[in-house]
Amino acid sequence: MIKIIIYFTLFSSFTLAYAQEESKIPSGGAHYSVHLGPGRELQINVQIWGRVMKPGMYSVPKTTDLIALMSFAGGPAEDANLGKIKIVRSNPEPEVIKLNLKKYMRTGKLDLIPVLKPGDTVIIPGNVFHTFSRLTSVIAQLAIVANVYYLFFMREK
């Protein structure tokens, strides 16, 4: 019975470590969902993923730019890498737009900030500290599993 519990714990730990890998850029066409907002303003659906306070899908005014969407999402998290933002756009042709928001913060040039289009997905990755923190967490979990394995199987010998 103890061996089954150990195997289940090992399997769960490896599954958890695998599930924590960063997701890839999605494929497929944009889904247009256009409706009028409270002030009879045209609304579009966009998504924001990654290191923001409230990632998800947002229905925003048609004139919304990246900065406004990030504000709707509660702003960037502490460990957001603002130098490597991507906008995945599927219509009319698939396109990935790479942005360096740090450059905007240094210069204040508004032409660096794109206006979003229906179906856009904004991806804000984590910085090096975020990656290191996740790696450390996985290693700590594996060390616990190895220690339990040692205590139950190797110590008896």
Res. 8 pLDDT band, cuts 50 70 90: low
Closest CA to 52 of 21, 24, 73: 73
Query: Residues 103-109: what's their mean pLDDT?
Result: 91
Query: Residue written as tokens 């040692």?
Result: 150
Domains and CATH numbers, the chain: 1-22+136-157 (no CATH), 29-124 (3.10.560.10)
pLDDT band per the 50, 70, 90 thresholds, residue 3 = low
Among the residues of 20-118, which ranges form H helices? Answer: 66-72, 101-107
Confidence of residue 128 (pLDDT cuts 50, 70, 90): confident
Note the pLDDT of residue 25.
42
CA-nearest of 92, 97, 123 to 23 is: 123
Of 151 and 157, the structure prediction assigns the larger pLDDT to 151
Averaged pLDDT of the chain: 82
CA separation for the pair 13, 16 (Å, rounded): 5
pLDDT tens column, 63-98: 999 999 999 999 999 899 999 999 999 877 899 999
Per-residue pLDDT band at 1 (split at 50, 70, 90): low
Compute how many other C-beta atoms are within 10 angstroms of the C-beta atom of residue 49. Answer: 19
In tens, the pLDDT along 15-61 reads 555 544 444 444 444 454 556 666 778 899 999 999 999 999 999 99
Instruction: Specify the pTM.
Output: 0.64
pLDDT at 99: 94
Token pair for 131: 């990656």
